[in-house]
Structure 1
Amino acid sequence: MIKRRCAIGVLAGTLASLALAPLAACSAKPAAGHGPVEIPFWSNQAGAGPAETKNMKTMIADFNASQTSYRVTWRTYPFDSYNTTVQSAAAAKKLPCLLAVDQPVVPNWAWAGYLAPLDLPKELTGQLIPGARGEYDGKVYSVGYWDAVLSVMARRSVLKTYGIRVPTLAKPWTGQEFDAALAKIKTGGTYKAPLILGDPSGNGASYPFPPILSSFGGDLIDRGDYQSAKGVLDGPAAQEFGTWIQGLAKRGLISTSTAQGSPFLDGTVAMAWNGNWDATAALAKYGDDMLFLPPPDFGHGIRTAAGSIGFGVTTGCTAEQKRGAQQYLKLTLDPKYIARFSTTQGVVPSTAAAASIAKDYAPGGRLSVLTELTQKHAQVRPATPAFPVIDTVFNKAVGDIIAGADVKSTLSRAASDIDRNISSNHGYRSR
């Protein structure tokens, strides 16, 4: 199943909060005196695992010890309520200086006036993989240390049993091959379903499904100007995609269970379109039998999802605080820190330099295919302030289609809902 904390889907609160006017937000000014300038830092990592907490604390401590001009102070909030907390702080003009922000939400927060563009060197931001760089209107607003990536998890022995070819990045399955493989596994009767593709209710669908939609030739919105979903979310290619996923459900080729846990690790499904967060556990259980495979090519190339938690500077910073915050980001983008996140947390390193020294993700490592997928085939979600609405609308559409709703009218309604929101916000033009 797609885990919301890694996959990042609906993160922008209620629809009513999505069209906030830009805010001249500000944080508390540093106290007068000769001490270091305080840089308040908020993140959505309350309750994170001990490795993640330790990694963050280490970076902050190292930065604070590396100079005497600034002092980063870190405060964490629960993941599920974090966005509401940030929105409330922005409304009260009490934003901190540094913020954790989910990459697909960056354009909305930049447009609303929460985030300021980063003035980091291009040679630094340019080395980041697509999912670790939050951009809007041609500017970088966030940078990250890791990303999550999806692959088809399978077992070599299962594919061999059913005479199914092991695909490669150079020669992935075609859509027809993939469907035939699922049908063979279904006929065998060993598994409750051949595949789990995502939550059949549509919850979080905007993470695992758009790469497949794009492989069919559709998309969530026209990325040329981000002004309309018509023709791309409800066009012939998107309808073919919708018919395909609905057909998988009707034929019993995908799991329709909404139970928590990992059906692939439980052994109840043969394959899973799943993320690296389950990779270590899968290797521990299945060992050398474990495969991480590229997605099928449905005619327009292979795609995997991208975009994870990054860190940006808010409009609440003073000029001096912003200088310190950007020094912090520069220091912590060192490959040694990024590789440590990868090695201890099982996440995809955000730079090639870090990947080269991260054990599993380095060339020849057990998860090196995930590194290559991320570097060469990642597709970020649309960089538009409308994304939170796109997210909500698409999630519902996918859930309805899997449940049996008419594909054409469902997608047409979804595209119209998105276009209506964009129009009501005057195209989300930069202000």
Structure 2
Amino acid sequence: MSNLITTLTREAKGIVTMHIPRRSRHLAVMTGTGLSLALLMSGCSGASGGEESDGTIEVWAHAGQAAESEALQGLVEDFNSSQEDVTANLTLIPEADYTSTIQSTSADELPDVMEMDAPTMASFVYDRKLISLDDVVSSETLDNRIEGIKESGTYNDATYAVGLFDVGLGLWGNATLLDEAGIEAPTTAEEAWTVEEFEANLAELAEVSPSGQAIDLGEANGFAAEWGTFTTTPDIWSAGGTLLKDGKAEGVLNSEENVQALEAWASWREYADPNTSGTAFPDGQTALTWTGNWMYPTFSEALGEDLVLMPLPDFGLGTKAGHGSWQWGVTPAAEGNTDAAGSFLDFLLTDDSIATMVEANAAVPGSSSALEQSELYGPDKPLELFANNLASACGSENVTEECIAVARPVTPGYPTVTSAFGSALLAIWGGADVQEELDSAARAIDSDFSDNNGYQDD
């Protein structure tokens, strides 16, 4: 089984099915829990707890968009056929189960190479599930990364993750509806609407939007989930706030800047379409939507020349945007076989491989040379705004007016931070007091950090 590409897909009713090759003639079916999946995976992944694998490496990745998964499968096949020294065996795990599967799998049962969502990297380093890539991946590959990839892949001054792509977050508009309301769309960071202008425009655009609501903020994605943290942190960074500083949340997460920013965010509910269908903006029902680059293929097909990409509103410190997407790392299971793991990652991060992937998912190319050649993100291209944002990336504890793309906190305690913050966001959106919710979230985060010695490495 270790020589197979195994694909795990989530069925409509939440059942996870592992598709076994024809000669096995059976299906293993289970409920979609990370623990159950991890137990099954440990029996078939072929990871050997650090033993040499004779040029064979096991690779785990998330099963996201169909086109993205297909592109990755093709790249693995290309790598395997490009040389005879290393064979990569790919396992795709449903995105909803992916992070919990890694969390519940012991380090010696992990694959040699694994994908991870950028904000989880530091927690996996802390749990000894990743090794530094500085002597594993080539210097040419590392030097060619765009700034956003460097920022989100670095922890304690060492590189633990590299990525084929990064993401952008922006405000998308329907030019016809904007024109009908007499509103001009900003197209550069310097032209971003102030929050006051944005709120006035929401009222105007609600009048011309067929749904009677001006904007889709992604409520259907769940504000308590990572979506909430990813899409609202630009508001607090732009207002001069942040989530965490020096491992502390008290006086930071519940600061006056954050309270004011989230009070404004909650007030937009009056103009927000819940969009349970997932098609409000491309169907022309709302004038605006607040989402990322991955929606460009859908939006451009639906709206054509009416599609406008704009920066997020400026709360006072300039427009900000989140970044940090799926990246790749090497686990201790690759000990003695890091050359093979490194050669695989070097192949994934070539310009040709990156071009294949971003053609599938419309993401921001992760290397400087691939970005320059991009038909979407290069100079004067339709998504250039996202590339410009990532060129000025920074960490969440040193946000300046000049910085636009900000990485979520790089800390082993990030799962606690986003969980507590997300719970507060959901309550705030439902009408709860902002200060009280942020106070409660700050206490929960600081308690967890205290219980874990501040997540300091031994």
TM > 0.5: yes
What does residue 400 of structure 1 align with? Answer: 427
User: Which is bigger in relative contact order (C-alpha 8 A, separation at least 6)?
Assistant: 1
What does residue 27 of structure 1 align with? Answer: 49
Mapped contact 1:401–1:407 kept (Cα < 8 A): yes
Mapped contact 2:154–2:161 kept (Cα < 8 A): yes
Mapped contact 1:132–1:309 kept (Cα < 8 A): no
Mapped contact 1:130–1:306 kept (Cα < 8 A): no
What does residue 60 of structure 1 align with? Answer: 76
Report the alpha carbon displacement of residue 48 of structure 1 after superposing the two structures with TM.
4.5
Report the alpha carbon displacement of residue 53 of structure 1 after superposing the two structures with TM.
3.5
Report the alpha carbon displacement of residue 26 of structure 1 after superposing the two structures with TM.
5.8
Runs of 4+ in 1 over 4 A off after TM superposition: none
Q: Please list every run of 5 or more consecutive structure 1 residues that lacks an aligned counterpart in the other structure.
A: 1-11, 15-24
What does residue 310 of structure 1 align with? Answer: 327
Instruction: Flag the 1:136–1:315 CA change in 2: closer, same or farther, 3 A.
Output: same
Verify: 1:264 aligned to 2:286, yes or no.
no
Most deviating of 267-276 and 109-118: 267-276
Q: Amino acid of the residue matched to residue 414 of structure 1?
A: A
Instruction: Flag the 1:211–1:393 CA change in 2: closer, same or farther, 3 A.
Output: same
The match for 2:251 among 224, 227, 231 is 231
Output the CA distance in 2 between the equivalents of 1:229 and 1:260. 36
Mapped contact 2:72–2:357 kept (Cα < 8 A): no
Report the alpha carbon displacement of residue 154 of structure 1 after superposing the two structures with TM.
0.2
Matched residue SS, 2:177: helix
Verify: 1:301 aligned to 2:318, yes or no.
yes
Mapped contact 2:180–2:208 kept (Cα < 8 A): no
Deviation per CA, 1:150-170, whole angstroms, max 9, x where unpaired? Answer: 110102222222121221323
What does residue 352 of structure 2 align with? Answer: 336
Output the CA distance in 2 between the equivalents of 1:167 and 1:54. 36
The match for 1:104 among 119, 129, 134 is 119
Output the CA distance in 1 between the equivalents of 2:305 and 2:109. 52
Report the alpha carbon displacement of residue 188 of structure 1 after superposing the two structures with TM.
4.4
What does residue 30 of structure 2 align with? Answer: none
Report the alpha carbon displacement of residue 185 of structure 1 after superposing the two structures with TM.
1.8
The match for 1:371 among 384, 387, 399 is 387
Deviation per CA, 1:130-185, whole angstroms, max 9, x where unpaired? Answer: 54342222211111111221110102222222121221323211111111111212
Verify: 1:82 aligned to 2:98, yes or no.
yes
Deviation per CA, 1:394-416, whole angstroms, max 9, x where unpaired? Answer: 11111111111111111111111
Matched residue SS, 1:205: helix
Mapped contact 1:151–1:304 kept (Cα < 8 A): yes
Matched residue SS, 1:27: coil
Verify: 1:116 aligned to 2:131, yes or no.
yes
Matches within 5 A, 1:144-183: 144-169=163-188, 170-183=190-203
Output the CA distance in 1 between the equivalents of 2:390 and 2:279. 22
Instruction: Flag the 1:110–1:28 CA change in 2: closer, same or farther, 3 A.
Output: closer
Deviation per CA, 1:162-221, whole angstroms, max 9, x where unpaired? Answer: 121221323211111111111212344643311122327523201111011110111111
Most deviating of 106-115 and 56-65: 56-65
Mapped contact 2:281–2:288 kept (Cα < 8 A): yes
Verify: 1:289 aligned to 2:306, yes or no.
yes
Verify: 1:428 aligned to 2:416, yes or no.
no
Mapped contact 2:120–2:415 kept (Cα < 8 A): yes
Mapped contact 1:202–1:397 kept (Cα < 8 A): no
Output the CA distance in 2 between the equivalents of 1:100 and 1:189. 40
Q: Give the alignment's Cα RMSD to 1 decimal.
A: 2.3
Deviation per CA, 1:31-77, whole angstroms, max 9, x where unpaired? Answer: 6xxxx4211111122x751x434432333233334443322221222
The match for 2:59 among 41, 46, 52 is 41
Deviation per CA, 1:306-361, whole angstroms, max 9, x where unpaired? Answer: 11111100011122x11211122122211121122112332221123112223222
Matched residue SS, 1:218: coil
Matched residue SS, 1:116: coil
Matched residue SS, 1:269: coil
What does residue 397 of structure 2 align with? Answer: none
Instruction: Flag the 1:123–1:303 CA change in 2: closer, same or farther, 3 A.
Output: farther
Mapped contact 1:173–1:296 kept (Cα < 8 A): yes
Q: Amino acid of the residue matched to residue 172 of structure 1?
A: A
| Residue identity (%) | 29
Matched residue SS, 2:109: coil
Mapped contact 2:51–2:333 kept (Cα < 8 A): no
Report the alpha carbon displacement of residue 105 of structure 1 after superposing the two structures with TM.
0.2
Matched residue SS, 2:409: coil
Instruction: Flag the 1:108–1:272 CA change in 2: closer, same or farther, 3 A.
Output: same
Output the CA distance in 2 between the equivalents of 1:72 and 1:422. 38
Deviation per CA, 1:260-295, whole angstroms, max 9, x where unpaired? Answer: 413211322210111122211111111111101111
Matched residue SS, 2:329: strand
What does residue 339 of structure 2 align with? Answer: 323
